[in-house]
Structure 1
């Protein structure tokens, strides 16, 4: 699933500083071109010096490093940052609520007994496969709700999937006693109450059973679905030997008390919204059902995301430190020019000089 985005704010407005007056100090960046930190040494003439482009380029590079160090320090002190931005993302996906059964029966395996050895419980199998399901839908907004004796709001609709993964990782904790799926569905529908985006909405119910839904709860669910149409999916984790929700019992035995799962299936069919149920009796079947749901919920999706402010002062100080380090290395490598002097003559013998003077006078 690919997605593209654009920034609603112009690029020129995406950068800012906390202390604009500090930017006046940027004029100090001219100092490396007006002064020199290295020792100046005079020479008689430059005409006899051969061209040395490497030294010239090195000198210019050191001046630029000095100017860059000053500029980086100035913008760092000014509090350079990237402002909060509004991003419009487009891709394929949906707004999806995962409604998870947290009753104690989910702690059993598909043979409806405590798992042993390498066996997985129903909740562990659902945890692994739902985690992969979320990873494969990076552009969805996903919420999480749970239910057992009472409904439990876990996470509102969000596009921060790390939080969603954390919520899914908690579904294999020990469950509670009962399965109040009616109030769980009401909670999942309420997650879309403030959702005004034009996106596909879906509820994925993951449960291994059902209980009777009170008539008043049924009426409330019908009203909620009429106000907020959604796609419904039920991943029924059926224990081996349990009755199928698609199997029609003999006459007289098809009652809500005897077959609550089948009658939940019939009730969801009667809501007048797109609905599909999947039966799974093994972790492999759960994976196949989730893959099918993944294929069906791939419609165009547009949503707005706010990217928070990002401070860049630390990055500016790092650039300044690197530039100063280069100049310091060059300073440490500096060596003075050697002065070449004629060798000093040996001092004349004073006695010989005096004797020569005397001889000259006598001759005169």
Structure 2
């Protein structure tokens, strides 16, 4: 328990005042020594005194800003630490048919945004980070359990992108984000791209070294445009089989050569994207220890509420009190 304005606690001794000073108006009485003790009156008297204590105490604690301290609780669940690496190149602004969206049509980036948000919401125990890439990689959100921040970052992925796709440097940034995450658990990178990218030899070798140093699962969600090459297809013997001619195929081959847990998905529409994301969710179900943050909770409202109830009781008692002179026939009554 904490107090945001602890100086107010110096007023707490005022709570003792009702214990020594009566809460009702004093009247003169003849001797009542021969009458039996009025237990009910004694109980009511002390009840009103304690109501005064609660009223003053509640007000003082409210002014002192009483609150429960922020806490962190370790919990256990099923999930992973996942970096969503999202392609922000200009081609992602097109539909799966390879044209600008019109009417009810949805761009590849818009479909990815909608389905990735559902994925994040459904994964209760996962921690997510967001990285994007086009001409250069962009560190958006570090791996965190703050789902609201992650969802806001995903909301921005359908903004107009740039012309190029530097997937190699994007993967390098995703790996650096995983290095920064010190909590135990399974690590995964989910690469969402329409695949038109060539990774240079020097970058490939650097990535091989980086992937070899850490256990990371890699998922490649290839958003294939209608009429484009499949990354799984083997070209005819007379066709040019180079990274420049078939970037999707050679990107997939490079990932397969990394000797890490790797799975590729080829999606030609939003339903296929949804199925791929669902499958990734099933695969990433390893035991995980995660920290649940319970924010500071303000108790001053409850302190004021107790003070208000106590004051209401005192007010009711005051309104029910009758002066001796107001009694019928001038009778003396307490």
**1:262 maps to what in 2?**
249
Q: Choose which of 131, 134, 150 in structure 2 pairs with 1:145.
A: 131
**1:223 maps to what in 2?**
209
CA distance in 2: counterparts of 1:139 and 1:204, whole angstroms: 17
Q: CA RMSD in A?
A: 2.9
SS at match of 1:129: helix
SS at match of 1:193: helix
**1:247 maps to what in 2?**
233
Which digits, 9 at most, give the CA deviation of each residue in 1:289-312, with x for residues without a partner? 111111111111113456555554
CA distance in 1: counterparts of 2:197 and 2:160, whole angstroms: 20
- The CA deviation at 1:313 is 4.2
Q: Choose which of 111, 114, 137 in structure 1 pairs with 2:97.
A: 111
CA distance in 2: counterparts of 1:19 and 1:202, whole angstroms: 45
**1:285 maps to what in 2?**
272
- The CA deviation at 1:160 is 0.4
* Pair 1:29-2:15 in alignment: yes
Q: 1:224 to 1:324 in 2, by over 3 A?
A: same
- Aligned positions of 1:77-156 closer than 5 A: 77-156=63-142
Q: 1:59 to 1:262 in 2, by over 3 A?
A: farther
Q: Choose which of 339, 342, 359 in structure 1 pairs with 2:327.
A: 339
Which digits, 9 at most, give the CA deviation of each residue in 1:62-121, with x for residues without a partner? 333221122223434555343343422221111100001111111111111111111111
- The CA deviation at 1:209 is 1.9
- Aligned positions of 1:179-190 closer than 5 A: 179-190=165-176
- The CA deviation at 1:241 is 1.9
Q: Choose which of 171, 174, 181 in structure 2 pairs with 1:195.
A: 181
CA distance in 2: counterparts of 1:333 and 1:87, whole angstroms: 50
CA distance in 1: counterparts of 2:35 and 2:211, whole angstroms: 93
* Pair 1:301-2:288 in alignment: yes
Which digits, 9 at most, give the CA deviation of each residue in 1:288-341, with x for residues without a partner? 111111111111111345655555445434432443244234434544353344
SS at match of 1:124: helix
* Pair 1:72-2:58 in alignment: yes
Does structure 2 retain, via aligned residues, the 8 Å contact 1:142–1:158?
Answer: yes
Does structure 1 retain, via aligned residues, the 8 Å contact 2:23–2:49?
Answer: no
* Pair 1:213-2:222 in alignment: no
Q: 1:292 to 1:77 in 2, by over 3 A?
A: same
CA distance in 1: counterparts of 2:121 and 2:43, whole angstroms: 52
Which digits, 9 at most, give the CA deviation of each residue in 1:260-299, with x for residues without a partner? 0011011111101100011111111111111111111111
Bigger Cα displacement from structure 2, 144-153 vs 20-29: 20-29
CA distance in 2: counterparts of 1:255 and 1:35, whole angstroms: 95
Does structure 1 retain, via aligned residues, the 8 Å contact 2:23–2:48?
Answer: no
CA distance in 2: counterparts of 1:108 and 1:100, whole angstroms: 15
- The CA deviation at 1:148 is 0.8
Q: TM-score, normalised by structure 1?
A: 0.80
- The CA deviation at 1:193 is 1.5
Between the two proteins, the alignment pairs up a number of residues equal to 327
- The CA deviation at 1:192 is 1.2
**2:155 maps to what in 1?**
169
CA distance in 1: counterparts of 2:288 and 2:177, whole angstroms: 18
CA distance in 2: counterparts of 1:246 and 1:56, whole angstroms: 90
**1:275 maps to what in 2?**
262
